[in-house]
Amino acid sequence: MSIGRDDFDVKFIDVDINGTVLFGAHVGAQVGYRSVIAEYAVDQDTGDLKMQGPYFGGIVRF
């Protein structure tokens, strides 16, 4: 199936702000905020996706 330029329309925005704190040479923590927005139209189908919020993580280096 071939898709031409007129068959779909997509908008995508992804913003990620984060910071990392190291508690020594091998262990740390990461905290951030991420927002993802996607809107699309393909033939007769349309949809949107919105996800946003904080996230936390750990870092272990060897």
Long-range contacts of 29-32 (CB under 8 A, 24+ apart): 29/56, 29/57, 29/58, 29/59, 30/56, 30/57, 30/58, 30/59, 31/55, 31/56, 31/57
Domain boundaries, the chain: 5-60
The model's confidence at residue 1, banded by pLDDT at 50, 70 and 90, is very low
The model's confidence at residue 7, banded by pLDDT at 50, 70 and 90, is confident
- Of the candidates 19, 16, 18, 30, the one whose C-alpha atom is nearest the C-alpha of residue 61 is 30
pTM for this entry: 0.66
Q: Residue 6 has what pLDDT?
A: 64
